[in-house]
Structure 1
Amino acid sequence: MTSEDRDTVSAAEQDGTGSRSSHVPGKPRKKHLPIWQETILLLGIALVLAIVIKALFIQAFYIPSESMEPGLVNNDRILVEKVSYWFGGTPERGDVVVFKDPGDWLSAEEKAGPQSGIAELMAQIGLYPTGGHLVKRVIGVAGDVIHCCDKKGRISVNGHPLDEASYVKEKGIACNGPMVTDCKADWTAGPVPPGHIFVMGDNRGHSADSSYHMCKPHLETDCVPGDEYVATDLVVGKVFVLLWPSDHFRWFHRPATFAGVPDDPSS
């Protein structure tokens, strides 16, 4: 028997058929799942990943009104990241945040989420916007005092006037905080309570924000002070990108004017 014949016999003996095989005798071969079962398995994995991503990292929302114009307009799609507020992190001045309704800021219609079954399912896994949320800009954090307005119509935080020209919508209003006194008198909010923030829409004349929910000093009312503040545990996350429509696409950054705000209101 030649060496070539021995090699042929040895190869045949490996699987008993005359062809090489890695199969170990006595060990059952692994069976592939049918295509339909593999599809269901992959969809299940994708669903779990989507739920985890929504719960921990990123969630989609849409802009439901004109309150954040000009930067965000009605029906814009945004993505919110949650990582910035992990491990004790809290919203910072200038952040654009999405938060749950504090209780009486939205009407029943505005709180309603998706109505169709498919949209509702997609909302649950973070692939479609949910109802009952608001989008505003953080103006003050715990301990801050917000004042409106100086001779130029600017809002001040802890005595520092904010240059908001880059994001506040010009709409024929005399100041950047008209919702309290129609710019006819000054107003002050704060100190902001611990664990809360003071928020405002960029479209200052058309935003039901913290200034809108303040008690109006020139009106006789049974308003209870404090409704203007939003608890930080209601904050879902920070807007970091305007995703859709594509011609509106842009990244969000904290405006530079907030860097000059001192932490001490008395400074």
Structure 2
Amino acid sequence: MSVAVTEETTQEQGWRRRRPWYVELPVMIAVGLVVAVVIKSCLFQMFSIPSGSMENTLQVGDRVAVNKLAPLTGWKPEPGEPVVFKDPGGWLPPAPKDGNAFTGAVHSGLSAIGLLPPGDDYLVKRVIATGGQTVACRGTTLTVDGQPVTEPYLHPGDDSCAGLDFGPVTVPAEHVWVEGDHRSDSADSRYHRDEPGGGAVPVDDLVGPTTAVVWPLNHFTWFGWTGR
């Protein structure tokens, strides 16, 4: 009896090894999709950089990985961190419609599982100040709580104010003040001071810190798990 069981088990194992490709392929695809969904939902999400507002730190077309686990583990945004956030409302122009419903559906599906970046309603900027801090710009000097801020990441040729004086502005609790590194080409918190929040972005709208530039490979940059 034990021999028969052994032979049957060996035959079953042989059948499993000989499963045709058209059986194996759907299984592999299904497993890959599950893994992609888990990574996208719990660990990292990819975003594409659409403009030059963060040059030269981030280039147009760069793909960045955002640590979605950080907000779930007590992460709090700090000045100096690049972060991705959902448009608080009115920061971005309406996205053009290409009229191709099929292409749009495919993109939405692939975005949902993390194989493509999401739509055009997300931005990436650098945190300048957090809730309770006071930010201002005069001449070429940016200050937070009255202290000048050194900004080595600024785009060459830009200064901190880029010709726009403002403040002092006190950032509301649970908000962040964000600006682009390419200060003269960034419609950031400075240009939304007459909107709810006074230009600051609610912390609830943050997806997470920018962890790394992952594509193209020659632009690879590691910011760290918390974006610093």
Do both share a fold (TM > 0.5)? Answer: yes
User: What is the identity, as a one-letter code, of the residue corresponding to 2:87?
Assistant: D
**Which one has the bigger strand percentage?**
2
Structure 2, unaligned stretches of length 5 or more?
Answer: none
- Equivalents in 1 of 2:216, 2:60: separation in Å? 11
Q: 1:84 to 1:93 in 2, by over 3 A?
A: same
SS state of the match for residue 109, structure 1? coil
CA contact (8 A) 1:243 1:250 kept: yes
User: What is the identity, as a one-letter code, of the residue corresponding to 2:160?
Assistant: N
Q: State the match for 1:259 in structure 2.
A: none
User: What is the identity, as a one-letter code, of the residue corresponding to 1:163?
Assistant: T
Greater Cα radius of gyration, structure 1 or 2: 1
Q: State the match for 1:187 in structure 2.
A: 167
Q: What is the CA deviation profile of residues 203-235 of structure 1, one whole-angstrom value per residue up to 9, with x for unaligned ones?
A: 1111011011124xxxxxxxx562411111111
Q: What is the CA deviation profile of residues 3-49 of structure 1, one whole-angstrom value per residue up to 9, with x for unaligned ones?
A: xxxxxxxxxx8536xxxx72579xx9576365423322221121112
Structure 1, unaligned stretches of length 5 or more?
Answer: 1-12, 216-223, 257-267
SS state of the match for residue 121, structure 1? helix
Aligned-pair identity (%):
36
**Which one has the bigger helix percentage?**
2
Give aligned pairs, total.
219
CA contact (8 A) 1:155 1:162 kept: yes
CA contact (8 A) 2:80 2:127 kept: yes
Q: State the match for 2:122 in structure 1.
A: 133
2:207 corresponds to 1:236: yes
Structural RMSD (CA)? 3.0
SS state of the match for residue 86, structure 1? helix
CA contact (8 A) 1:94 1:139 kept: yes
Q: State the match for 1:124 in structure 2.
A: 112
CA contact (8 A) 2:65 2:210 kept: yes
Q: What is the CA deviation profile of residues 128-169 of structure 1, one whole-angstrom value per residue up to 9, with x for unaligned ones?
A: 1112100000111111111213x6x221112221110x2111
- Equivalents in 1 of 2:219, 2:26: separation in Å? 36
2:131 corresponds to 1:145: no
TM-score by length of 1: 0.72
